[in-house]
Amino acid sequence: MQSTHLLLEEPIRMASILEPSKPSFFPAMTKIVGTLGPKSRSVEVISACLKAGMSVARFDFSWGDVEYHQETLENLKAAIKSTKKLCAVMLDTVGPELQVVNKSEKAISLEADGYVILTPDQEQEASSELLPINFSGLSKASNILLRTMLIAVKPGDTIFIGQYLFTGSETTSVWLEVSELKGEDVVCMIKNTATLAGSLFTLHVSQIHINLPTLTEADKNTIGTWGVRNKIDFLSLSYTRHAEDVQQAREFLSKLGDLYQTQIFAKIESIEGLTHFDEILQEADGIILSRGNLGIDLPPEKVFLFQKAAVYKCNVAGKPAVITRVVDSMTDNLRPTRAEATDVANAILDGSDAILLGAETLRGLYPVETISTVGRICYEAEKVFNQDLYFKKTVKYVGEPMTHLESIASSAVRAAIKVKASIIICFTSSGRAARLIAKYRPTMPVLSVVIPRLKTNQLRWSFSGAFEARQSLIVRGLFPMLADPRHPAESTGASNESVLKVALDHGKASGLIKSHDRVVICQKVGDASVVKIIELED
């Protein structure tokens, strides 16, 4: 991997570090995905999260029922209406997740150097000596290799059990080492003392293929009911292991009305997903690097390497890269650790589009403060992001001859930087042109003016555009605005000037532009794509 200078200005004046950040309408170009749950589901808290910078709300169906999440979503809609801030909806599937079945929900104490048995007999009561799990193939080795990975565990393998999410440091997480296999049961030695409290314990086995479908029947039922009803913008496909997983999910969505427009983000959580990363990236609309599970499957010293390589591949492909598990300590604390703050900044310098907050907002004590803190760190990192080097590397990777649209997008970004434009305005119907501009990481915001199109399914007429606008809320530097459908993107003359005036007025009202600022505009005029530069008058 080529080494790069991360800083835009070298050396940075030390005194400049102490200068206060200028207030901005957009806290950061980087987007923040917040998981809504017990501590963040009221209208008041969601409204505060939106104002703090959350642009995508994630609904995690590994816990809670459809009614619970629907109530939360209704609160989100009320918060969007009151704050007048757009927010996209992401449904996170459960996938082939292994879980400990604790019907009584009583706390289970495990002592270091003791032994516990994992059994597929879910009728058994969970205790300190016996943990029922929802998978029967853990102790049975297959006679064949399944995609080069064995199905069963063997003595010496590591098994991790944790509550909610993996950190490896909390007393609600336990490391087990496989001691022996007895029929369908797995006998394990307990490596650390812990108490499993609550109803949700996730089980993770390092580098073992779990012979379960990526999109389970329960997931399909959730998507077919809750997802269809709420026209979800993004599907987070948990435990994506092969390109076929994404293809099958897309085929399923294509049969569910408006969900054919839903974007699929492949969640990479295992060695298997890492091995097939290139094929998965080609099929998916974006990637979520689930560093909690990856941190168990990979040696600690390899995690950063995969992150940098994966984010780079997403960048050059022009697909959003989302990083998880950045400020775990803020679940219980008001400030992140030094390592966490640096980790967030490095993710931005690597080229990440968005930061996904899980337990920090789901059950954390400070959901709003966490979003605000992460946003401020992103903002500071963006100021020293080496855009010039990034631009040159991206252009070189794309090569020549460029496609027509790619050429227009890169030209718009180069022109905006050269004339020190305050903003780039892009007129689009599908959102593709705006995403291509954002791919080159301009230093200024890109206002994506989505022009709706009239469409029909032979039964009724409707306008497109809402999906395309919300789906840009996960792309770094892209800020959507839904235009009046009476102004087509390819129109000429008065209607074009009218919608441009609306976009400029929106920019002025939000503090993005002011008199005498330069603005770069990218639009279609007839059959031609045009990049033009205007200077605002008084």
Q: What mean pLDDT is predicted for residues 398-425?
A: 91
Work out the percent of the chain whose per-residue pLDDT is above 90.
52
Yes or no: say if 496 and 523 are a contact pair by the CB < 8 Å rule. yes
What's the pLDDT score for residue 149? Answer: 40
Work out the percent of the chain whose per-residue pLDDT is above 70.
86
Q: How far apart are CA 316 and CA 257, in angstroms?
A: 32
Q: What mean pLDDT is predicted for residues 201-212?
A: 77
- Among 4-8, 321-325, 449-453, the range with the most confident prediction by mean pLDDT is 321-325
Q: How far apart are CA 227 and CA 509, in angstroms?
A: 34
Residue 196 neighbours by CB distance under 10 Å: 23
Condensed to tens digits (0 to 9), the pLDDT of residues 117-150 reads 999 888 888 899 999 988 777 776 543 333 334 4
What's the pLDDT score for residue 459? Answer: 62
Between 296 and 404, whose confidence is greater?
Answer: 404
Between 204 and 311, whose confidence is greater?
Answer: 311
Q: Reply yes or no on whether the pLDDT at 151 is more than 60.
A: no
Token readout for 8 is: 């835009």
Q: What DSSP state is assigned to residue 331? A: G
Q: How far apart are CA 416 and CA 59, in angstroms?
A: 37
Main-chain dihedrals φ then ψ at residue 64, nearest 5 degrees = 75, 150
**Is the C-alpha dihedral spanning 462, 464, 469, 471 positive or negative?**
positive
Lowest mean pLDDT among 64-78, 113-127, 338-352: 113-127
**Is the C-alpha dihedral spanning 13, 16, 17, 21 positive or negative?**
negative
2 band by pLDDT with thresholds 50, 70 and 90:
very low
Q: What mean pLDDT is predicted for residues 228-256?
A: 95
Q: What DSSP state is assigned to residue 359? A: H
Beta bridge partners of 162: 173, 202
Q: Reply yes or no on whether the pLDDT at 40 is more than 90.
A: yes
What's the pLDDT score for residue 24? Answer: 58
What's the pLDDT score for residue 289? Answer: 95
514 band by pLDDT with thresholds 50, 70 and 90:
confident
Q: Reply yes or no on whether the pLDDT at 85 is more than 80.
A: yes
What's the pLDDT score for residue 314? Answer: 96
Main-chain dihedrals φ then ψ at residue 303, nearest 5 degrees = -60, -50
Q: How many CA atoms lie within 13 A of 367 on its CB side?
A: 28
Q: Where do we find the tokens 């809504």?
A: 36
Q: Reply yes or no on whether the pLDDT at 490 is more than 80.
A: no
Yes or no: say if 62 and 165 are a contact pair by the CB < 8 Å rule. no
What's the pLDDT score for residue 147? Answer: 39
What's the pLDDT score for residue 262? Answer: 95
Outline where DSSP puts E strands in 216-282: 234-237, 263-268
Q: How far apart are CA 328 and CA 172, in angstroms?
A: 14
Lowest mean pLDDT among 150-154, 389-393, 439-443: 150-154
Yes or no: say if 441 and 477 are a contact pair by the CB < 8 Å rule. yes
Mean pLDDT of the chain: 86
Q: What DSSP state is assigned to residue 225? A: I
| Burial of 176 (C-beta count, 10 Å sphere; 0-12/13-18/19+) | buried
Condensed to tens digits (0 to 9), the pLDDT of residues 414-443 reads 999 999 999 999 988 888 899 999 999 999
Between 226 and 429, whose confidence is greater?
Answer: 226
Condensed to tens digits (0 to 9), the pLDDT of residues 363-374 reads 899 999 999 999
Task: Report strand pairing: 98-100 vs 201-205.
Answer: antiparallel
Between 275 and 137, whose confidence is greater?
Answer: 275
Give the Å distances, CA to CA, from 202 to 162, 163, 174, 193, 433: 5, 6, 11, 17, 41
Q: Reply yes or no on whether the pLDDT at 160 is more than 80.
A: yes
99 band by pLDDT with thresholds 50, 70 and 90:
confident
Q: Reply yes or no on whether the pLDDT at 233 is more than 60.
A: yes
Overall pTM surpassing 0.75 (yes/no): yes
Q: Where do we find the tokens 């969505």?
A: 253
Q: Reply yes or no on whether the pLDDT at 152 is more than 80.
A: no
Q: Reply yes or no on whether the pLDDT at 189 is more than 60.
A: yes
Yes or no: say if 279 and 288 are a contact pair by the CB < 8 Å rule. no
Main-chain dihedrals φ then ψ at residue 23, nearest 5 degrees = -65, 140
